[in-house]
Amino acid sequence: MRHIHFAAMAAIALAVASGCTSSKIDKTETTAIAPVAPDIGAADLTAGKAQFREANYGLAEKHFRKAVELSADNAEAWMGLAASYDQLGRFDFADRAYDQLLKVAGRKARIVNNMGYSQLLRGNRKKAQALLLEARAGMADPAIVDANLALLNKS
């Protein structure tokens, strides 16, 4: 009995030892799994911009919103989100996005220009003009602001 027990233990030990020393482990590197992007929100920011250019403002809003959820300090994503809300007529949400944008990036001429355009879309001519003139004073090339002012004067 003792001999059978010893033989079984020796067989198990031999199997374990030979399994551990096996060189049949595949060490080939694979490219099937793409590396993780360092900025997860970058893909959504890019998609948001593409959708905005195509005038798909609902899809742009979705991507910009996800980008700011992933990176709350991304001024470009906040700008896109606010502009998307403007185009969708969701001015209440646009105002919130502009408030966050101002906290993240400060009061820059480009931001103030967009805020002025937002007021233009709402029909707030007086507020739009004040914001656009403020933006114009801070822009090196005021061509965009001048175009917005021309739209204001036509309406």
**What are φ and ψ of residue 39, in 5° steps?**
-115, 100
Helix, strand, coil shares, percent, the chain, to 5:
75, 0, 25
Rounded distance between C-alpha atoms, residue 133 and residue 119, angstroms: 13
pLDDT of residue 41: 79
Domains of the chain: 40-105 (1.25.40.10), 107-155 (no CATH)
Residue 78: its pLDDT value, please? 98
Q: Is 47 exposed, middle or buried (0-12, 13-18, 19+ CB in 10 A)?
A: middle
With a cut of 50, list the residues of the chain below it in pLDDT.
none
- pTM of the entire structure? 0.74
Strand locations in 65-122, DSSP E?
none
pLDDT at res. 124:
97
pLDDT for position 18: 54
Residue 155's pLDDT is 78
Tens of pLDDT, residue by residue over 35-69, are 555 566 799 999 999 999 999 999 999 999 999 99
